[in-house]
């Protein structure tokens, strides 16, 4: 996304939000959707004040969706995932812990709504694992590795051994194993990096940034 495109998108989303609040009400599902969209554009621009505003909007959308639907509705899980991602990006004191709490709630909900092997579940597992990995504590790294393994297994079932999503998860899992650095972790990490590398070369080319 180009900066000018994001600025324009934010301007349009603000106008749409203003219009939706006038047309419907603060708690209408359309308003929650527009808040999600505006928050997503602000998060993509990623200035500190943008992230804080995005978090505020996601919180409003989340409260509205819980009231409109229920704690276990897919839209609630999606908004929790989005809010957690914005908190992780802002990375102020307490943001990481709150993001982990939200990812866990979204994960629990999506497993009930879909299944263990659904792509939404794999995505949230990847996000949760990534946040745990950045904390770099032994227990968090072990949990991240467990989640990456589940996401990898699911990704192979959903896509194929050679799919780019599978290569990305292998890279992520390898990074967590490397960070934990217990016996056999580095050997396993090297194996995963090699598989991801071979897959990316096949999918893209030797000169692609992912390679």
Going along the chain from its start, the domains and CATH numbers come out as 1-102 (1.25.40.10), 114-211 (1.25.40.10)
Chain centroid to Cα 18, Å, comes to 27
Task: Copy the structure tokens of residue 90.
Answer: 């802002």
- pLDDT class for 1, splitting at 50, 70, 90? low
Dihedral sign, Cα of residue 66, residue 69, residue 70, residue 73: negative
Q: How far from each other are the two terminal CA atoms of the chain, in whole angstroms? A: 22
pTM of the model: 0.91
Residue 91 burial (CB count, 10 A) = 11
Flag the least confident range among 3-7, 59-63, 84-88, 99-103: 3-7
For residue 211, pLDDT over 80 is answered with no
């Amino acid at each position: 996304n180009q900066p000018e495109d994001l600025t324009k998108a934010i301007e349009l989303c603000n106008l749409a939000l203003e219009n939706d609040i006038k047309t419907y009400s603060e708690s209408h599902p359309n308003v929650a959707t527009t808040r999600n969209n505006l928050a997503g554009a602000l998060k993509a621009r990623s200035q500190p004040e943008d992230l804080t505003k995005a978090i505020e909007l996601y919180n409003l959308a989340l409260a509205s969706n819980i009231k409109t639907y229920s704690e276990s509705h897919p839209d609630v899980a999606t908004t929790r995932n989005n809010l957690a991602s914005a908190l992780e990006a802002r990375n102020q004191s307490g943001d990481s812990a709150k993001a982990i709490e939200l990812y866990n709630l979204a994960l629990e909900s999506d497993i009930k709504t879909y299944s263990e092997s659904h792509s939404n579940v794999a995505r949230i597992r990847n996000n949760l694992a990534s946040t745990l990995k950045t904390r770099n504590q032994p227990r968090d790294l072990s949990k991240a590795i467990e989640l990456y393994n589940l996401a990898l297994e699911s990704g192979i079932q959903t896509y194929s051994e050679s799919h780019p999503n599978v290569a990305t998860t292998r890279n992520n899992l390898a990074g967590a194993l490397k960070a934990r650095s217990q016996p056999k972790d580095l050997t396993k990490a090297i194996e995963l990096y090699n598989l991801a590398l071979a897959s990316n070369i096949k999918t893209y080319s030797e000169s692609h940034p992912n390679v």
